[in-house]
A and B are shown apart, each in its own frame.
Chain A
Amino acid sequence: MSKATICIIDDDPIYQLVTKKIIEKSFFFPIVSSFTNGLEAISYFQQSAALPDVILLDIEMPVMDGWDFLDEIVSIRNRFNADTSIYIVSSSIAKEDKEKALTYGCIKGFISKPVTLSKIEKIANPD
């Protein structure tokens, strides 16, 4: 089953806009949503019926950063019984952040900015 929904969580509005456009152009994900920080996203997911198939997550964000978001999503993920793939997206990822991220089962990979069409394609068809 191909993935349909993708969610961008990043405090950089330009990045949000640009990435959204690239995803829309790729046609891999018909539904794209975006949030400027973790708290916004969690609040939304708590009230929504389902989780997106893919989440592109930034770590450094105000209000609720990527780590806190991961902790929160782990607790609500069971409720949906969903198979959400989360990708950490950053311009540079420190080694210790990578090691920390791997302790979360839902993390599927790391993507360095900028997000390109080919990167989206890989996310859509990981095999």
Chain B
Amino acid sequence: MSIEKKITSLSSWFVSRPKTSGILVFILVLFVLNLTLFFRYQVVKKNRQFEMENLLTIVHQNIEQTLKNSYATTTGMALTIDDNGIPKNFEEAGKQLLSYNTSIDAVQLVPDGIIKYTYPEKGNEAAANFNILTSPLHKDAAMKAIETRKMYYVGPVELKQGGMGIVGRLPVFKKGKFWGFSAVVIRFSTFMRAAGISSLHDDRFYFQLSKTDLKTKTEQFFLNESSDFKDKNFKSVSIPEGDWKLYIIEKSDTALIKEFIPVLFLTFILSIISGMLVNIVLRRPYELENLVKIQTEKIIKNELLFKSLFEHAGLGITHTNSVNGTFIDANDKFCEQIGYTQEEIKTMDFMMITHLDDLEADLKQMERLRNGEIDGFSLEKRYFHKNGSIIWVNITVSPLWTKNEKPSSHMTIVEDITKRKQVEQDLLLSKQNIQSLINTVDGIVWEGYPDKPGVTFVSEKSKDILGYTAEEWISDDNFWYDHLYPEDREWVTKFSKECAEKKQPHTWEYRMINKAGNVVWVRDIVSIFIENDESFKFRGILIDISKTKQFELDLNHSVQLLTEQNKRLLDFSHIVSHNLRSHTSNIESLTNLIEESQDENEKKELLGLLKKVSEALTETMDNLNDVVSVQTDINRSIELLNLNEYIRKTENILSNQIMKKNATILNTISDDCNVKYNAAYLESILLNLISNSIRYSHPERNPVIELKTYEENDYLVMCVKDNGIGIDLKKNGHKLFGMYKTFTDNPESKGIGLFITKNQIDTMQGKIEVESEPGTGTVIKVYFKR
């Protein structure tokens, strides 16, 4: 690999990793800057050491100078001592020497260790005659000087004359014998000044001075600064003349580092900025590269997908020239659908294989597509298979040009729908079959939703049964309700609602009104057809049961009649047995009495009674015969009778009684009022009612009988109202129409009239009602069936 290539690959490595590159640059910059900083630190540190050494040397030299001066002075002073050991011109010499050496505060001569001479005396009086050889503070130092025969400095110590100071003592020997000391006193402040410690004061450093104790060998520090600096950066020098050690100490060992911290921080920031810059600079190409990669992958995938779809789709797909209709390409499925090979297809156009009947529609749509009127279209049409058979297809055409481009080619998706078409055809046929089947059912087939008004379907039988066409019914949402028989509407709708709520199939019978206005009895057989969990349909068949119903009603009526007749017969047989028994028991008693009687007169009387019983029996038999004739007279002739005509006839029959009782008959019935009735019954009924009104008239007033008629439902009602004695209906109402039921002591009461009247009215399907109040009068209503 060439260098150029290596560089390219390296740079592309960096470009593809903007974050890593940024971090690497950050580390690199940080390293370089910190390395530079480190070297700089080392240089500064070295300079600092050098500076400390210089300062220490200066101070050391100053102290050395002071000590040299002191030595010179003490030597000078020692020279003033004569052979006898007496100093000459001590004061003058002292004055002179001190004037030369400003670093010395006083000079002393100390013969035998006792301070005898001091210049200047002033201020040092306290030290006069002080024996240093006996002083514990000074003794050791003095002895060391004597032993070493060298000048030795004591101090800094507390001076006898006050304050701290250093005393340098030079042992003086005269004639080989120790004479005493020539000494200098240097006050500590003077010493410090001379050393230059005060003037060399620096923020970074400080000085310390120590002395090793002769006895204890411990180190004593004298300056106010800290003596604990072993961990710090320091330098020292020893001064043997006083066993001193001079130190220079760096105040803070971290000071230098602290100086570098901001710079360090700056380098860090700089490194970060560099890293970020690199990251930002490299990211853009990275993102672009990524985008290109993703898009490329997508395109590849789409291409693969399309290819796979095109080649392996379950649907036929063609790529067709939109201008001339020739096939550019087609997938295997399409070839399979129409039976041609790919090569053959590519030489054909779609018009060649399209059914002629469908071609026009197809071409029209293509024209619209080319003109940009539509974005695509679907069409069901027929293709000719290579073998000549017809296949039904659903094509979906999508153009492959954009709006502003010229029409070029289009994709067509071809779905074989031959089977579906066949099924549709079959379904249509089956639907027609079902429809004709439904229409032949002898009932109206209907369908509807319980929560929607109206019906969704009604079969044509509606016309036959109700006289309305299916369309008339379906188009009117309220048709069913409106054509229910008014009396049935309430319960029918209520019941229908209940069944809908319970989703309950039901069969019921009700009445409807047909187009001609007649009642049609229907049986509605309703089933529930569940469409899903929430909705369901009602499906029903309405069967015309009017004939059956009429039979049923007639039958019911007959049964009712028979039951009533039976009951009447039962009652009648009971009455007959009761009444006949009354007579037979009387006969039995009478014949027994006759048999037993010895008295002829009594026998005669009893025979008379027997005759009466016989007559009563005959009468009873007649009455019973009347009743039986009413009960059994099945072939009663019924004719139209004029009511007033019969009333007048009755009035004639009763004229005698009417006159006797001074009765008035107020007849408001019109002359044209006719009833269809049996003539004998009508005569009997009128006679019974009017004669009763006269018979039971009130003793305190003349009888007034009112006659009137009115219509009520299916009846003509005739009212016979009187002002007679009335009947206590509470007490006797239940036996009013009973046989031989009488309520008065009227000798004409036989308890047979109303019984027969009731029977006659019943057999004519009418009814009789009574309203009455004792003492006021009675109203009897006779209902003639229309």
Contact = CB atoms under 8 A, between A and B. Distances in A.
B586 A114 contact: yes
A62 B581 contact: no
Given A14-B609, A91-B578, A92-B578, A113 B585 contact: yes
B745 A18 contact: no
A102 interface: no
A62 B588 contact: no
Nearest to A67: B731
B578 A18 contact: no
A37 B745 contact: yes
Contacts of A68: 731
B609 A63 contact: no
B524 to A, nearest CB: 46
B17 interface: no
Given A91-B581, A92-B578, A62 B749 contact: yes
A92 B740 CA distance: 14
B519 interface: no
Interface in A1-35: 12, 14-15, 17-19, 21-22, 25
Interface centre among B578, B579, B596, B741 (most CB of A within 10 A): B578
Contacts of B433: none
Contact of B581 (A14, A60, A113): A113
Contacts of B582: 12, 15, 91, 113
Contacts of A25: 596
Contact of B743 (A63, A90, A115): A63
Given A63-B743, A113-B581, A114-B585, A18 B749 contact: no
Interface in B570-604: 574, 577-579, 581-582, 585-586, 588-590, 592-593, 596
Contacts of A116: 589, 592
| Candidate in B589, B741, B742 with the most chain A CB atoms within 10 angstroms | B589
Interface string A83-120: 00000001110100000000000000000111110000
A22 B582 CA distance: 16
B586 A12 contact: yes
B743 A62 contact: yes
A120 to B, nearest CB: 12
A91 B587 CA distance: 13
Interface string B470-491: 0000000000000000000000
Contacts of A12: 582, 586
Contacts of B592: 114, 116
> Which of A22, A36, A60, A68 has the largest count of B CB atoms less than 10 A from its CB?
A60
Contacts of A63: 743-745
Interface centre among B612, B744, B745, B746 (most CB of A within 10 A): B745
B593 A14 contact: no
A14 B612 contact: yes
Interface string A41-79: 000000000000000000010110000100000000000
Given A62-B749, A91-B581, A91-B582, A18 B744 contact: no
B613 A14 contact: yes
Contacts of A112: 585
Contacts of A94: 574
B680 interface: no
B744 A92 contact: no
Given A14-B616, A18-B609, A92-B581, A114 B589 contact: yes
A26 B612 CA distance: 25
Contact of B741 (A14, A15, A37, A60): A60
A63 B578 CA distance: 20
Contacts of B741: 60
Nearest to A58: B582
A8 B574 CA distance: 24
Contacts of A14: 586, 590, 609, 612-613, 616
Contacts of B613: 14
B589 A60 contact: no
Given A12-B582, A14-B609, A92-B577, A21 B745 contact: no
Contacts of B749: 62
B586 A18 contact: yes
A112 B585 CA distance: 9
A17 B577 contact: no
A18 B746 CA distance: 23
Interface string B723-760: 00000000100000000111111100101000000000
B740 A60 contact: yes
Interface string B387-406: 00000000000000000000
B740 A18 contact: no
B589 A62 contact: no
Contacts of A91: 578-579, 581-582, 585
Contacts of B589: 15, 18-19, 22, 114-116
B586 A62 contact: no
B418 to A, nearest CB: 88
A21 B616 contact: no
Nearest to B731: A68
Nearest to A90: B578
Nearest to A91: B581
A24 to B, nearest CB: 11
29 contacts: A14-B586, A14-B609, A14-B613, A15-B582, A15-B589, A17-B609, A18-B586, A18-B589, A19-B589, A21-B593, A22-B589, A36-B745, A60-B740, A60-B741, A62-B742, A62-B744, A62-B746, A63-B743, A63-B744, A91-B578, A94-B574, A112-B585, A113-B581, A113-B586, A114-B585, A114-B586, A114-B588, A115-B589, A116-B592
**Chain A to chain B: the 10 pairs with minimum beta-carbon distance, closest first:** A91-B581, A113-B585, A114-B585, A62-B742, A114-B589, A18-B589, A91-B582, A114-B588, A92-B578, A14-B586
Given A62-B744, A91-B578, A91-B579, 16 more contacts: A12-B582, A14-B612, A14-B613, A14-B616, A15-B582, A18-B589, A18-B590, A18-B609, A19-B589, A62-B749, A63-B744, A63-B745, A112-B585, A114-B586, A114-B592, A116-B589
Interface of B: 574, 577-579, 581-582, 585-586, 588-590, 592-593, 596, 609, 612-613, 616, 731, 740-746, 749, 751
